[in-house]
């Protein structure tokens, strides 16, 4: 997939680039980001450099992950990150979204706006039929964003998150194209319970 830029009313979302290293490093010093996301702890300069210079370009090139730097307008400050990660499950692709927001930009709706933009892109450009969200139980901020973006919380996955030599429970939710008024790439035959 060719790297792409998305725009919303307030935000520009573009693939991370080496020029973002300093901001990523500074933002990821936040204990809340280190506590609730999968970024390394402690977060070192080499982690930021590898993320923007190696991991993100490889994901776009290989079709395994699509990470966006979320900026307040074109050239504005980095306010968040949103990524869609691809997993192969039973011979088909499964898509999972993850995100973090800079502390000083939380509570302003930027994260929800960015998540909806990336979800629309995943459904229309990647052909995703389902976008999953997962977060460690207790991550109320991430859950609030997911719910505001239209994700339905589907339950709790026991011992599904591996962090720091422990396994933890996680919430799981999903968004379908129809939840955003989009036509799905494949017909959806719901269960009799629906």
Write out pLDDT tens, residues 68-122. Answer: 999 999 889 999 999 999 987 766 679 999 999 999 999 999 999 999 999 999 9
**Phi-psi group of 149: left, alpha or beta (phi > 0 → left; psi -120 to 50 → alpha; rest → beta):** alpha
Query: 1-18 burial by CB neighbour count: b if 16+ within 10 A, else e?
Result: eebeebeeebbbbbbbee
The Cα-based distances of 141 to 106, 120, 123, 156, 182 in angstroms read 9, 21, 24, 16, 26
Q: Is 181 left (phi over 0), alpha (psi -120 to 50) or beta?
A: left
Residue-level pLDDT at 153:
98
The whole-angstrom separation of Cα 193 and Cα 139 is 29
Q: Tens digits of per-residue pLDDT, 108-157?
A: 999 999 999 999 999 999 999 999 999 999 999 999 999 999 999 999 99
Phi, psi angles (nearest 5°) of residue 162: -100, 120
Average pLDDT, whole number, for the chain?
94
For the packed helices 110-121 and 140-148, what is the interaxial angle rounded to 10 degrees? 60
Predicted local confidence at residue 98, as pLDDT: 97
Nearest to 119 by CA among 187, 32, 184: 184
Give residues with Cβ within 8 angstroms of 179, minimum separation 6. 150, 151, 152
pLDDT tens digit string along 155-168?
999 999 998 889 99
Q: Is the pLDDT of residue 192 over 70?
A: no
């Amino acid at each position: 997939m060719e790297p792409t830029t998305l725009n919303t009313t307030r935000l520009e979302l573009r693939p991370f680039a080496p020029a973002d290293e300093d901001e990523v490093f500074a933002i990821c010093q936040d204990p809340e980001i280190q506590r609730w996301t999968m970024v390394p702890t402690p977060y070192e300069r080499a982690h930021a450099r590898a993320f923007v210079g190696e991991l993100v370009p490889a994901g776009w090139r290989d079709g395994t992950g699509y990470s966006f730097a979320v900026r307040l307008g074109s050239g504005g400050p980095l306010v968040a990150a949103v990524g869609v990660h691809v997993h192969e499950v039973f011979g088909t692709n499964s898509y999972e979204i993850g995100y973090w927001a800079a502390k000083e930009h939380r509570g302003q709706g930027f994260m929800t706006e960015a998540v909806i933009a990336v979800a629309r892109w995943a459904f229309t450009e990647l052909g995703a039929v389902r976008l999953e969200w997962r977060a460690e139980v207790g991550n109320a901020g991430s859950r609030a964003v997911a719910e505001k973006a239209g994700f339905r919380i589907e339950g709790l996955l026991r011992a599904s998150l591996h962090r720091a030599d422990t396994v933890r429970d996680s919430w799981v939710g999903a968004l379908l194209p129809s939840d955003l008024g989009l036509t799905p790439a494949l017909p959806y035959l719901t269960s009799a319970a629906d």
